Amino acid sequence: MKVLLTNPIFRHWARPNCFPVGLGYIAAVLRNAGHEVQVLDLNALRLEQKAIELTIRDTEYDLFGTGGIVTAYSQVKELVRLSKLYHPDVPTIVGGSVSSSIPETLLTRTPTDIACIGEGEITVVEVAERVANRGSQVDLTDIAGIQYKDSGGAIIHGPVRPPITNLDALPFPAWDLFPMEIYLDNPVGVINAAKWNDGVPQSHAVVRSINISASRGCPYRCTYCYHDFMGTKYRHMSAARLVEQICHLVESLGVKYFLIQDDLFIVDRKFVYEFCDRIEETRLGVQWECASRANLVDDELLNRMKKAGCYCTSFGLESGSPEILKEMNKRVTIDQAENAIRLIHKHFGFKYHSMMIGMPSENLRTIQESIDFCIRNDFNPQVVFYATPYPGTELYSQARQRGLIQDEEQFVLTLNEQGENISCNMTHFTDKELETLKEYMVRMVGAANKEKH
Ligand code: B12
């Protein structure tokens, strides 16, 4: 069966540098199941609207798939509309956090037939099998991990799909189906950050790099984070498999730098140590970076990571106020945050963390505490975000309960790409006051908000 997968544009203002890892896995498992997979990577190709429409019109396929972060909603809606316009009988399936966090909006406000909830590798293969064997209508009964519309338009919830526990059993993402040279020409990672400005590479002297994923899930439950998406059960591929993936990318694409883009890479210390041992044994000399957490780093771990090629690690610091950290359910103390900043700077020379403003309890004192924290720790945040209730988060439930968000689709359409504007003000300040306070904070702490990387 023929499957067309489309990748919406991600950050229209920036050159394409983020490989769509999840879609890469979806393409790989569908191909392994015997389907003919074509990828229309709009983020890499940046086609004009007319060209997108003609390409979808002129491509023959039996299943249409797309996905992305919730911020991609309007594009996903348009792509599904185009597919239905030119291929009305072809089922459409949408995955990614957009589909998991707003499935009902997707199914009722767009011509999406099937919303894939959570990890998609097993689900999509089962759906494709039913589509391939369909008679007059696709029977989706009992497929776990989906919501879909029945013939009468009612939304049916399939059973819950358990998390994939053995990530080693997954194939590598199907990099060969994507225009990889475009991604490799537009590098990722802190090592390349200084070579970008407002989404445009400033120099060709960049390190060939790619983003990869090694683990899924996060055991913490911060209120601004969508932890139900990949679940709170942390799972990682084996260190051997991760190193095998890295070796493959070094050999096949000449990659020298790896951005491990997981929510949190250092939950399981034993795994990190084993990865460090194995990557050193390869003697490839590759460098890498990952996300960490203030309460999980210490001298010994960072030292080991650095020796094994880790170029930098950073974490979402979010606030310098104990009260706000508590409200976020961050489970990090101010002492831990200060210690982590000092240690990471000592080992890597970076203070590359992010801050937030605008949690519901934010007040003048808590904002001043955040500013004082940054000044005291001689720290210029990479960015100060507005706290934003992204769908699927605890903050989002609070905003709905307080009546701050009436219509989910309208709200999602106001979400900008990086939380740079106020989408939903949860504080007692007016929007104007909050904007002024954010500008003040950005100025006082010397955050790099003006630059887009
Ligand atoms: C890496 C990452 C980024 C990267 C790159 C994203 C990218 N293009 O790949 C960067 C740093 C740029 C980024 C930015 C943002 N991110 Co982000 N990011 C992540 C992170 C940590 C990992 C993504 C990942 O690699 N996952 C692993 C792969 C294997 O999973 P996957 O891509 O989701 O794909 C699987 C399924 O979704 C599904 N699937 C995916 N596509 C398809 C398609 C089909 C057809 C099917 C059937 C299935 C399917 O199957 C895949 C395999 O299982 C996730 C957290 C997480 N746990 O996923 C947050 C996450 C996706 N990000 C999030 C947010 C909020 C943002 C920002 C808005 C943050 C901000 N304020 O700036 C921005 C948005 C930028 C923009 N322009 O839109 C939220 C999304 C919440 C939501 N409701 O959608 C998440 C879930 C974080 C969280 N836990 O809250 N992000």
3-state SS of the chain: helix, strand, coil percent to 5?
A: 40, 15, 45
| Ligand 1 contact, 112 CB (< 6 A) | no
* pLDDT of amino acid 202: 63
Q: What is the pLDDT of residues 253-301, one digit of tens each?
A: 999 999 999 999 999 999 999 999 999 999 999 999 999 999 999 999 9
pLDDT in tens, 170-216: 999 999 999 999 999 888 888 877 666 666 666 665 789 999 999 99
Residue 452: its pLDDT value, please? 60
Q: Are strands 146-149 and 114-116 parallel, antiparallel or unpaired?
A: antiparallel
Q: Could you please report the per-residue DSSP string of 395-415?
A: HHHHHHHTTS---HHHHHHH-
C-beta 419 within 6 A of ligand 1: yes
Number of the ligand 1 atom closest to the C-alpha atom of 43? 8
> Among 194-198, 267-271, 414-418, 422-426, which stretch is predicted with the lowest mean pLDDT?
194-198
pLDDT for position 193 = 74
Mean pLDDT of 319-345: 97
What is the Cα–Cα distance from 341 to 345, expressed in whole angstroms? 6
Q: Report residue 354 as tokens.
A: 């992010």
Mean pLDDT of 13-18: 86
Atom of ligand 1 nearest to the CA of 19: 9
| Six-digit token string for 224 | 């601004």
* Residue tagged 């001298």 (tokens): 299
pLDDT at residue 195 in the model: 65
What does the pLDDT read at residue 416? 74
Which residue's CA is minimally distant from atom 55 of ligand 1?
263
pLDDT at residue 420 greater than cutoff 90: no
> 86 — phi, psi (to 5°)?
-95, -20
Residue type for position 116 = C
State the closest ligand 1 atom to the C-alpha of 291, by its place in the atom list counted from 1.
21
pTM, whole model, 2 decimals? 0.97
What distance in angstroms lies between residue 76's CA and the mean position of ligand 1's atoms?
14
360 pLDDT higher than 90: yes
Nearest to 146 by CA among 91, 220, 206: 91
For ligand 1, say whether the CB of 116 is within 6 Å of any of its atoms. yes
When comparing pLDDT for 150 and 170, which is higher? 170
Say which residue, 231 or 324, is predicted with more confidence: 324
**How far is ligand 1, taken at its centre, from the CA of residue 21, in Å?**
9
Q: What is the pLDDT of residue 21?
A: 98
Q: Give me the mean pLDDT over the 399-405 stretch.
A: 98
Say how many Å lie between the CA of residue 71 and the centre of ligand 1. Answer: 10
The token duo for 365 is 């004192």
What's the CA-to-centroid distance between 392 and ligand 1, angstroms? 13
Residue-level pLDDT at 451: 62
Pocket flag, ligand 1, residue 327 (CB < 6 Å): no
pLDDT of residue 15: 84
Average pLDDT, the chain: 94
| Biggest CA-to-CA distance, the chain | 68
Does ligand 1 come within 6 angstroms of the Cβ of 75? Answer: no
- Ligand 1 pocket residue status of 196, Cβ below 6 Å: no
For residue 452, count other CB atoms closer than 10 A to its CB: 17
70 pLDDT higher than 70 = yes
Ligand 1 atom nearest to 11, measured from its CA:
77
The arithmetic mean of pLDDT across residues 309-317, rounded, is 93
Q: Is 423 in the pocket of ligand 1 (CB under 6 A)?
A: no
Rounded mean pLDDT, 137-158: 93
**Of 17, 97, 127, best ligand 1 pocket probe by most atoms within 8 Å of the beta carbon:** 97
Atom nearest to 263 CA in ligand 1: 21
Token duo for residue 165: 């526990």
Query: Residue 350: its pLDDT value, please?
Result: 86
Q: Is the pLDDT of residue 79 over 60?
A: yes
- Model confidence band, residue 151 (pLDDT cutoffs 50, 70, 90): confident
Q: Is 265 in the pocket of ligand 1 (CB under 6 A)?
A: no
Q: What is the CA radius of gyration of the chain?
A: 22
